[in-house]
Amino acid sequence: MGLGSIRKTVLVTGAAGFLGSHLVDRLLAEGFEVVGLDNLMTGDLGNLEQAGRDPHFHLEIGDVRETLKVYAEIIFNFACPASPIHYQSDPYATLTTSVLGALRLVEHARLRRCRIVHASTSEVYGDPLEHPQTEEYWGHVNPIGDRACYDEGKRAAETILRDAVRIHGADARIIRIFNTYGPRMALDDGRVVSNFLIQAIRNQPITIYGSGEQSRSFCYVSDLVDGIIETALAPQFDSPMNLGNPNEFTMLDLAESVMKVTGKKVELVRKPLPADDPKRRCPDIAKARRQIGFEPKIQILEGLKRTYDNFVSRMGVD
């Protein structure tokens, strides 16, 4: 990107998280001055090792629920625990991070014009009754369920940002991120990709929740980051927009793929399905294709292989 000698300053909240840290690395590579904010609730400073060596990266330990002190031309709001076990462990913190975080961003953007790219989620569709999910679908969400602190927090954040666009003319861009995986996923986040890989690496049984027939569509992290960058740089943007890989498969299929990639043949054990676990999830990405030319490139076996290599080195096994 031709930025000349003046670097634009951007802020990434949730910078030490899985997605936040990959985004930070990409923004530095694109020539931005990057400020990262994180309260380290679920983030890990180890994710910022590479960024930490770059003189154009600055880290602030702080909370998006408090007044932002940094001026940036673009704010990427990626602050919020995102895996079910993490976001359910402190539901109040999860809900307030989404809602107060969005309010703080909007206040900030009103005082100093800046662009906001906000990480929303496929969870706004809940356990969807329409398939695949288009942006027009309003969702099927339990407001008092175990996932509500995340789902409803993210829905309210969308409301806050959308109203800021409508009423104050704010430039707030909402992306609905579907399941994403890759290197640096927290080893203890209980997600299906990390659980299955770790179990196979340790020669332990793979835990299938419920029948294993429920589906998800997994996007490799570099594809997702491509979409986030295009979202931020597009001259105009119509929110919300789904981002993800529409290649849908069941958890049983995923277990097969993990065994293929790791070369391990392990047993499958059944565990109860968590409450309100969505039965099917797959993004309709027609809008992303049209609006920013989005096209995921990394297929599941390749993405799992890269993630596996990263896990093996972090777990210190051969």
| Chain residues that interact with ligand UDP, rule: CB under 6 A | 84, 179, 191-192, 195, 207-209, 214, 216, 251, 273-274, 277
* Minimum distance from residue 169 beta carbon to ligand UDP (Å): 34
How far from 164 is each of 29, 60, 234, 243, CA to CA, in Å? 31, 26, 19, 22
Q: From the centroid of its chain, how far is CA 24?
A: 13
Nearest CB to ligand UDP, comparing residues 209 and 249: 209
CA angle 279, 238, 31 (to 5 degrees): 100
Q: Among 82, 165, 169, 94, which Cα is nearest to 122's?
A: 82
Nearest CB to ligand UDP, comparing residues 37 and 255: 255
Nearest CB to ligand UDP, comparing residues 196 and 237: 196
Nearest CB to ligand UDP, comparing residues 228 and 258: 258
Nearest CB to ligand UDP, comparing residues 96 and 179: 179
**What does the H/E/C string look like for 132-170?**
CECCCCCCECCCCCCCHHHHHHHHHHHHHHHHHHHHHCC
At residue 59, what is the residue type? L
Nearest CB to ligand UDP, comparing residues 93 and 192: 192
Q: What is the DSSP string of 220-273?
A: EHHHHHHHHHHHHH-SS--S-EEES---EEEHHHHHHHHHHHHT----EEEEPP
> What 8-state DSSP symbol labels residue 209?
E
The catalytic position among 87, 125, 150, 181 is 150
Q: Among 84, 5, 132, 120, which Cα is nearest to 275's?
A: 84
* Residue matched to tokens 């809008």: 287
* Minimum distance from residue 183 beta carbon to ligand UDP (Å): 16
* Pairwise CA distance, residues 304 & 306, whole Å: 5
* Minimum distance from residue 218 beta carbon to ligand UDP (Å): 9
Residue 317 token pair: 């096994």
* Minimum distance from residue 131 beta carbon to ligand UDP (Å): 15
Residue 181 annotated as catalytic = no
- Give the residue numbers marked as catalytic: 150
